[in-house]
Every structure is written in structure tokens, then in C-alpha cells.
């Protein structure tokens, strides 16, 4: 329930017909009453509406093999340090790894300093854990919620069984590994090649 932002109203009472009024006109008491009395169906209908309203719904289904290999190779090369990068998504597929300058360390905090590029196809992240546990930490979950729709964590030993993908809420997502198309270019690019907009002090 803490996920949903409460709206403050001006009444301290519960009106008999509040359920027929638009939700943003409910008082805090009415909101509270609704949570205590809603049916499962109502709860999930609200969850669904909230989820769609708040985030682009996750629709990423697959990852190109070349991109995955690059992610895993990066993990092996950086170990025991963590590394983080961004992911380009085309259609429903993760296609490219976008390397960020100087982003490498053993603390999660480092990825919180990322800036969002103008390029709208950059909508995922990948980072590594220097241990065999590719599961999101509390800090990871906060980061996921604010930084795109698909998030990969690769753990030791950075092989085909040691990575997991999650959506913006930290819900595990199954990504099918698909072959690279014949015209696929290099799956690894530098962030310098992105359009960061003008006037941003991202450097
Ligand atoms: Zn992490």
C-alpha cells in the first residue's frame, strides 16, 4: 500500500457515495476506507491503472546474443569491480550495450549519478555483482524504478546462467536470447556517441 501516493482531501469523513466520485476527489479517510474494503478485483484493477499511469509497461522480451556476450565479457573483464552500462532497446529486444565513461566501482551509489540521454531507445541498464547473486538490492530497486524498463544484473561467473533481468519494479523478466541479425553492427558503443541534449552538464 505504501506504493500508492495518498491524496489529502478537505473532509474528514467518509461520504456514502464516494466510490462513484473521481478518485482524486476522495478524502484521505475515504481512500483509507477504500483500501480496507476493496475487493481483490478492485485492488488489481487499481494496481494495473496505477502501473500503466506511472511507468511505460515493460514490453521487452528478448536480447540479442551479441549484446549478452558483450555484457558477460564486460563482467569478466571488470571483476572484482562492478561495472554498469546502459542498454538500447529496439522494438521488444535489447540490442546494444552503451558504455559509460569512468563508471566502474564497488559501490552501487555510482550508478545513481547517471544522466538520461535524449535518445529514447536507451531504456535499460545493466550492472554486475562481484558475487554469485544476481538479485536486486534495495538500492537497485530504487534505481530500476527511475531508470528505464529493463534491467539486467550479471553475477559471478558471468556466464549464461548467472544473469537475470528485471522490470522497473524489480519483477523478474524472462528474456529470450535471440541471434544477431546479419546486418547487426557492433553491439558495444560509447556513451559519447549518444545525444545528451544541449546545456546539460553531464560531463
Ligand atoms: Zn546491484
Residue 106: phi and psi, rounded to 5, are -115, 20
Question: pLDDT category, 114, cuts 50, 70, 90?
Answer: low
CA 127 / ligand 1 centre spacing (Å): 7
Give the pLDDT band (50/70/90) at residue 117.
low
Q: What is the pTM of this model?
A: 0.67
Ligand 1 centre to CA of 96 (Å) is 20
pLDDT-derived band at 40 (thresholds 50, 70, 90) equals: confident
> 158 pLDDT exceeds 90?
yes
Going from N- to C-terminal start, the domains of the chain cover: 1-54, 62-193
User: What average pLDDT does the chain have?
Assistant: 81
CA of 61 to the centre of ligand 1 (A): 21
Q: Which of 23-27, 100-104, 130-134 has the lowest mean pLDDT?
A: 100-104
Give me the CATH code for the 62-193 domain, please.
3.40.140.10
Q: How far is the CA of 82 from the centre of ligand 1 (A)?
A: 9
143 alpha carbon to ligand 1 midpoint, in Å? Answer: 9
- For CA atoms 180, 181, 186, 189, the dihedral sign is negative
DSSP E strand stretches across 15-149 = 62-64, 82-90, 93-105, 122-129
Residues in Cβ contact with 169 at an 8 Å cutoff, skipping those fewer than 6 apart? 51, 55, 141, 144, 145
How many angstroms separate the alpha carbon of residue 108 from the centre of ligand 1?
A: 6
pLDDT, position 188: 93
pLDDT score recorded for residue 119? 79
Contact 150, 124 (CB under 8 A): yes
Confidence category of residue 24, pLDDT binned at 50, 70, 90: confident
Question: Which residue, among 120, 108, 126, 128, has the nearest Cα to 195 in the 3D structure?
Answer: 120
Per-residue confidence (pLDDT) for residue 171, from 0 to 100: 86
Q: How far is the CA of 79 from the centre of ligand 1 (A)?
A: 14
Amino acid at each position: 500500500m505504501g506504493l500508492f501516493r495518498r491524496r489529502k482531501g478537505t473532509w474528514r469523513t467518509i461520504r456514502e457515495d464516494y466510490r462513484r466520485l473521481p478518485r482524486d476527489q476522495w478524502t484521505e479517510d475515504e481512500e483509507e476506507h477504500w483500501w480496507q474494503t476493496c475487493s481483490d478485483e478492485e485492488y488489481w484493477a487499481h494496481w494495473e491503472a496505477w502501473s500503466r499511469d506511472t511507468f511505460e509497461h515493460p514490453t521487452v522480451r528478448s536480447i540479442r546474443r551479441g549484446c549478452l556476450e558483450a555484457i558477460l565479457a564486460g563482467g569478466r573483464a571488470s571483476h572484482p569491480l562492478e561495472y554498469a552500462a546502459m542498454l538500447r532497446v529496439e522494438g521488444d529486444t535489447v540490442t546494444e550495450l552503451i558504455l559509460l565513461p569512468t563508471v566502474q566501482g564497488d559501490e552501487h551509489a555510482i550508478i545513481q549519478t547517471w544522466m538520461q540521454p535524449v535518445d529514447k531507445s536507451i531504456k535499460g541498464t545493466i550492472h554486475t555483482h562481484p558475487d554469485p547473486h544476481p538479485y536486486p538490492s534495495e538500492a537497485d530497486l530504487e534505481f530500476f524504478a527511475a531508470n528505464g524498463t529493463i534491467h539486467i544484473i550479471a553475477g559471478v561467473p558471468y556466464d549464461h546462467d548467472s544473469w537475470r533481468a528485471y522490470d522497473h519494479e524489480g519483477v523478474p523478466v524472462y528474456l529470450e536470447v535471440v541471434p544477431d541479425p546479419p546486418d547487426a553492427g557492433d553491439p558495444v558503443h560509447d556513451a559519447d556517441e549518444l545525444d545528451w541534449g544541449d546545456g546539460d552538464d553531464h560531463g
